[in-house]
């Protein structure tokens, strides 16, 4: 009897123990994976219209605007929605600064003005070839560049936003022929945006694949989970729009004002699903199991630990651009390029010298979401590197968190008489444009046209100044097993060594205290040693006598 009772207690005990362990092991991953997978699938499916069945999309279409006119017969408000967004206006007022691509300066190809036909190959419209562009013409909106699903529609690089309508060579003399897309085929196959459509511009910022951002390049079209834990085709398979949600074509997330610290947390669909373009929108404000890790959330951006390096994909990113080295011509008097072993340009007569890097450890800065921009016409101090977009924030600013950035450095032209950054006319806008630097290799001529286009003075003198631009890193989030370990920062010469305005455990600070403490312990040790030695000596003395 007693044996049976003991046995049943044993069985129940071991059984519940096994059950508990089993639940612990199985519950967590299953819970985490299911809802996210459902979201990813929903994005890829769910249309109720087959655009190939619409008569108006049968074509033929001679130009992009003709397609847009057809789209607008059903999507009556789409163009007007687009026209309110920065994708269209290239204007954004932030506090007192007028920003947007029309107004900002960078240290890649510097500025849009006087280079429109080249730059506006990434405008969401057709025909922005100069300031006379009609921003109110609805058929100027390019629907296809975002909604193409065939991967056959491409804006021509020098077409002011149009695709090419006849076979054309670009770059000139390269032998690379761009063929016109079949506009009717593209129009009948429109759908949701994809990594490829967003990437057609955003992966090529700065004039080429992977040049600008560091965390955005063509390897995200078909990424592995290891490269991007959210977008990985072998994982959650997110598109850009999974996080960059859109309301009336206004897309969440943006560079001119960033949400450096989301204190709202999870956005519940139907309740407050305003934007998912922050980690916290899905992961909440206490995303870790360990309290110690959650204690970081208030002051450290998720990206700091979860993006251990940028340019982790197939592409290297540009880290340095020296415009002052541009303009060398070969023996025949022609511009030339020098490539490195991997095939990246490291010298280009039109642009100067470059450095490319992969798997780059970011720099880290305090950032509260606001920038201080150097724009067209901002006076600079040429005695030190120009910070083109200073990230505001400090340890004392509760809205600021520590963010990882790609610091892109360059040497770019400025006018030493006026201390204005030069807005150069780089791209030859027409066969008659002889001043453009890429044809003339003459900075003075290029600066005269460029500065005149923005109504700024030019003294006729050119000098070069170093500049830096900061690109906060948010994409190519690594799987958690690749996140930084504590010591990456919590050590004396760790990743945050440059941020000295706060106390961080694990790096030797409180110098005075450490000196005092070490001295105290040293004095005590010496005292004990002295005391002991003296006793030893006197005992021997006593024994002898």
Partner 1 sequence: MQQRKRTFIYPLFERFWHWSQAALIIILGLSGFEVHGSYRLFGFGNAVRIHNTAAALLLILVAFTIFWHFVTGQWKQYVPTTKNLGAVIRYYAIGIFKHEPHPVRRTRYAKLNPLQKLVYLGFKLLIFPVLATTGLLYMFANTFDVPIGPVAFLHALGAFVLLSFFIVHLYMVLTTGRTPLAHLKPMITGWEELEEESTALSAAPESSAD
In this structure, the strands spanning 386-387 and 363-367 are unpaired
Q: Does 532 bind partner 1 (CB under 8 A)?
A: yes
Q: Does 498 bind partner 1 (CB under 8 A)?
A: no
Q: Near partner 1 by CB under 8 A, which window of 168-176, 349-357, 420-428, 512-520?
A: 512-520
- Cβ-based neighbours of 415, under 8 Å, separated by 6 or more: 422, 447, 451, 457, 458, 459, 461, 462, 463
Q: Does 513 bind partner 1 (CB under 8 A)?
A: yes
According to CB under 8 A, which one of 157, 525, 544, 545 is a site residue for partner 1?
A: 525
Q: Does 528 bind partner 1 (CB under 8 A)?
A: yes
According to CB under 8 A, which one of 520, 540, 544, 545 is a site residue for partner 1?
A: 520
Q: Does 530 bind partner 1 (CB under 8 A)?
A: no
* Number of Cβ within a 10 Å radius of residue 287: 17
Phi, psi for residue 40 in degrees, rounded to 5: -60, -40
According to CB under 8 A, which one of 81, 149, 188, 491 is a site residue for partner 1?
A: 491
Beta bridge partners of 411: 322, 466
Q: Whole-angstrom Cα distance, residue 465 to residue 374?
A: 14
Q: Whole-angstrom Cα distance, residue 68 to residue 76?
A: 11
Q: Which is nearer to partner 1, 259 or 509 (CB)?
A: 509
Q: Which is nearer to partner 1, 461 or 487 (CB)?
A: 487
Q: Near partner 1 by CB under 8 A, which window of 151-159, 255-263, 452-460, 534-542?
A: 534-542
Q: Whole-angstrom Cα distance, residue 156 to residue 356?
A: 26
Of the CA atoms within 13 Å of residue 484, those in its CB half-sphere come to 24
Q: Tell me whether residue 319 is exposed, middle or buried, using C-beta atoms within 10 angstroms of its C-beta: 0 to 12, 13 to 18, 19 or more.
A: middle
Q: Whole-angstrom Cα distance, residue 21 to residue 9?
A: 18
**Which two structure tokens, joined as six digits, stand for 145?**
């560049």
Q: Whole-angstrom Cα distance, residue 77 to residue 332?
A: 55
Of the CA atoms within 13 Å of residue 16, those in its CB half-sphere come to 5
According to CB under 8 A, which one of 10, 177, 538, 540 is a site residue for partner 1?
A: 538
According to CB under 8 A, which one of 53, 508, 544, 545 is a site residue for partner 1?
A: 508
According to CB under 8 A, which one of 401, 486, 496, 498 is a site residue for partner 1?
A: 486
DSSP reduced 3-state for 372: strand
CB of 164 to partner 1, least distance (A): 56
Q: Does 485 bind partner 1 (CB under 8 A)?
A: yes
Q: Which is nearer to partner 1, 99 or 400 (CB)?
A: 400
CB of 289 to partner 1, least distance (A): 13
According to CB under 8 A, which one of 492, 498, 544, 545 is a site residue for partner 1?
A: 492
According to CB under 8 A, which one of 56, 298, 338, 497 is a site residue for partner 1?
A: 298
Q: Which is nearer to partner 1, 285 or 407 (CB)?
A: 285
**Which two structure tokens, joined as six digits, stand for 449?**
């046209």
According to CB under 8 A, which one of 169, 295, 342, 381 is a site residue for partner 1?
A: 295
Q: Whole-angstrom Cα distance, residue 200 to residue 128?
A: 18
According to CB under 8 A, which one of 487, 497, 500, 540 is a site residue for partner 1?
A: 487
Q: Whole-angstrom Cα distance, residue 175 to residue 207?
A: 19
Q: Are 323 and 361 within 8 A, CB to CB?
A: no
DSSP reduced 3-state for 439: helix
DSSP reduced 3-state for 490: coil
Q: Which is nearer to partner 1, 336 or 502 (CB)?
A: 502
Spell out, one character per residue from 131 to 170, where the chain touches partner 1: x when CB under 8 A holds, - when not.
----------------------------------------
Q: Does 263 bind partner 1 (CB under 8 A)?
A: no
CB of 359 to partner 1, least distance (A): 23
Q: Which is nearer to partner 1, 3 or 492 (CB)?
A: 492
Q: Which is nearer to partner 1, 94 or 486 (CB)?
A: 486
The conformational region for residue 399 under phi > 0 = left, psi -120 to 50 = alpha, else beta, is alpha
Q: Are 200 and 154 within 8 A, CB to CB?
A: yes
CB of 264 to partner 1, least distance (A): 18
Q: Does 25 bind partner 1 (CB under 8 A)?
A: no
Binding site for partner 1 (CB under 8 A): 292, 295, 298, 485-487, 490-492, 502-503, 505-510, 513-514, 516-518, 520-521, 524-525, 528, 531-532, 534-535, 538-539, 542
């Amino acid at each position: 009897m007693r044996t049976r009772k003991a046995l049943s207690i044993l069985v129940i005990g071991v059984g519940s123990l096994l059950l508990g362990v089993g639940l612990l092991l199985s519950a967590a991953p299953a819970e985490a994976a299911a809802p996210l997978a459902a979201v990813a699938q929903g994005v890829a499916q769910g249309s109720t219209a087959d655009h190939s069945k619409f008569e108006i999309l049968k074509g033929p279409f001679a130009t992009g605007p003709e397609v847009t006119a057809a789209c607008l017969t059903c999507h009556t408000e789409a163009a007007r929605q687009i026209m309110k967004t920065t994708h269209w206006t290239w204007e954004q007022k932030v506090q007192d600064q007028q920003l947007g691509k029309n107004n900002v300066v960078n240290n890649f190809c510097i500025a849009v003005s006087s280079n429109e036909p080249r730059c506006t190959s990434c405008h969401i419209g057709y025909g922005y070839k100069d300031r006379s562009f009609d921003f109110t013409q609805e058929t100027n909106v390019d629907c296809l560049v975002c909604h193409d699903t065939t991967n056959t529609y491409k804006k021509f690089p020098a077409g002011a936003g149009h695709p090419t309508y006849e076979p054309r060579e670009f770059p000139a003399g390269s032998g690379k022929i761009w063929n016109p897309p079949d506009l009717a085929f593209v129009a009948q196959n429109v759908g949701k945006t994809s990594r490829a459509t967003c990437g057609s511009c955003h992966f090529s910022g700065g004039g080429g694949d992977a040049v600008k951002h560091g965390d955005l390049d063509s390897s995200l079209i078909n990424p592995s989970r290891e490269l991007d834990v959210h977008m990985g085709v072998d994982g959650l398979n997110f598109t850009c729009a999974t996080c960059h949600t859109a309301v009336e074509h206004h897309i969440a997330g943006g560079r001119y004002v960033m949400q450096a610290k989301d204190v709202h947390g999870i956005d519940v669909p139907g309740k407050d699903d305003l934007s998912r373009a922050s980690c916290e929108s899905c992961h909440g404000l206490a995303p870790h199991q360990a309290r110690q890790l959650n204690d970081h959330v208030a002051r450290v951006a998720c990206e700091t630990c979860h993006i251990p390096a940028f340019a982790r994909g197939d592409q290297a990113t540009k880290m340095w651009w020296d415009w002052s080295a541009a303009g060398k011509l070969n023996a025949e008097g022609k511009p030339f390029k020098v490539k490195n072993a991997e095939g990246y340009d490291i010298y280009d007569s039109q642009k100067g010298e470059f450095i490319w890097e992969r798997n780059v450890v970011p720099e880290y800065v305090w950032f509260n979401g606001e920038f201080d921009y150097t724009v067209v016409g901002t006076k600079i101090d040429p005695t030190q590197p120009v910070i083109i977009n200073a990230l505001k924030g400090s340890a004392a600013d509760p809205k600021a968190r520590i963010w990882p950035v790609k610091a892109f450095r360059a040497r770019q032209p400025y006018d030493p008489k006026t201390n204005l950054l030069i807005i150069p006319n780089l791209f030859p806008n027409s066969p008659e444009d002889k001043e453009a630097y890429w044809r003339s290799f003459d900075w003075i001529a290029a600066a005269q046209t460029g500065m005149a286009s923005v109504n700024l003075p030019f003294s006729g003198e050119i000098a070069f100044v170093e500049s830096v631009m900061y690109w906060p890193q948010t994409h190519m989030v690594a799987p958690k097993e690749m996140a930084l370990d504590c010591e990456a920062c919590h050590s004396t010469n760790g990743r945050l060594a440059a941020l000295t305005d706060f106390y961080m455990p694990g790096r030797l600070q409180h110098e005075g205290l450490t000196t005092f403490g070490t001295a105290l312990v040293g004095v005590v040790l010496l005292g004990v040693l002295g005391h002991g030695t003296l006793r030893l000596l006197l005992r021997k003395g006593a024994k002898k006598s």
